[in-house]
Amino acid sequence: MMYEFRLPDIGEGIAEGEVVRWLVKEGDALQEDQPMVEIMTDKATVEIPAPRAGRVAKRMFAEGQICPVGKVLIAIEVAAADDAGAKESAAAAPAHVDVAPSAATGAPADNGVNARDAGVLATPATRKLARDTGVDIREVMGTGPAGRVTSDDVRAHAGSPAPAASTAVDGDTRIPFRGVRRKIAEHMVHAKHTAAHFTYVEEIDCTDLVALRERANAKLAAGGTKLSFLPFIVKATAAALVKFPQMNATLDDAAGEIIQRGHRHIGLATATDVGLIVPVVRDADRLSIVELAAEIDRLAGLTRAGKAAREELTGSTFTITSLGALGGLMATPIINYPEIAILGVHKISKRPAVRGDSIVIRDLMNLSISVDHRVVDGYDASRFVAEIKAALEAPASLYPEAA
């Protein structure tokens, strides 16, 4: 008899999910609770297990396709004894799903964690593949979320090629546009087509900040703490958001209201192996420079290892994007919608500057801010950046301990 399993409601407000990867093929035997498929939503990547034992009759959606909640995801041939269950809808949630952060708010990254002596994380299908290929799964380096060993990890360890991407005859390689990369694309396109972007750029003289940071790091070296410039920028930005709450807002189109957020939760765009993810420093205006440095390092480490919790990847009210020494001179960053502004931080470099009637060498940096013109005008954006500029050019106010 045929059992039609429908995509369950796997999270509040979730209407659909993308099929990232099938873990079973048509014709495969299924054990109850065996992982069948990885589904990505705006909230999470979930691994959905088989609701009952049987045989895979048909996969209704291909990898990369979108399956609406309630639609038949997979048809399973079950024994006649399960006839009654085969006739009922499978819209209810499965017994359990394993959840990892996803792309719109964050995504699991390859983290290189070795599973040896730590309790191997792997699906039953991956364990079976390891047994069939004679691989000791404890020896395999896991590259999945939280160090989970994947089927590709087992194949690589065994020396077998992973399923290849489609390759054109002229040497071009086709890479499936799905999963994290597609979620990032969807989010960026939605932001660009919704918010009325404009960008404002200002030059910051960081000479005193460079000197203050050097003094601070000399004092903190004994405790193993080292400050980057980012905590100072986050501190100055959070303080400016307190003074200019319209920059810490969102637009509720349906209600016709601008909502000024009551907290300063700063998202930090972070490069990972799977794309740009945004962990969140909560109540950044209440943290000291040293506390900000510790929290930034903690979140960056978790994000790049694919171990950040969902609550650490959601809820930002304002975002900062920085490439550090690779930051270039300026950019026009895309707003992290539904926020109304994003601050781009560019590299600090020695450049000539006019001071009085003299040309001198100073440590200069540009800040570029993209703003939603529906909510904020250019004058207000320039005042906001001027507030950040003033704080960074007189950094003793940010970290008096090193003054």
Helix 289-304 to helix 230-243 angle, to the nearest 10 degrees? 110
263 is written with which tokens? 């907290």
Please report the DSSP string for 254-322 in residue order: TTTEEEE-SS--EEEEEEETTEEE--EETTGGGS-HHHHHHHHHHHHHHHHTT---GGGSS--SEEEEE
- Establish whether 377 is a catalytic residue: yes
Cα–Cα distance measured from residue 5 to residue 270, given in angstroms and rounded to the nearest whole number: 37
C-alpha distances in angstroms, 337 versus 70, 122, 279, 330? 28, 35, 15, 21
Residue 318 near residue 343, CB atoms below 8 Å: yes
Question: Which residue is catalytic, options 132, 136, 253, 377?
Answer: 377
Q: Which residues of 3-32 are buried (b: 16+ CB within 10 A; e: fewer)?
A: bbbbbbebbeebeebbbbbbbbeeeeebee
Question: At residue 6, what are phi and psi to the nearest 5 degrees?
Answer: -100, 145
Angle at 188 between CA 69 and CA 321, to 5 degrees: 125
State the catalytic residue, choosing from 157, 190, 263, 373.
373
DSSP reduced 3-state for 398: coil
Catalytic residue check, 205: no
What are the angstrom distances between the C-alpha of 341 and each of 259, 277, 373? 14, 17, 9
Catalytic residues, which ones? 373, 377
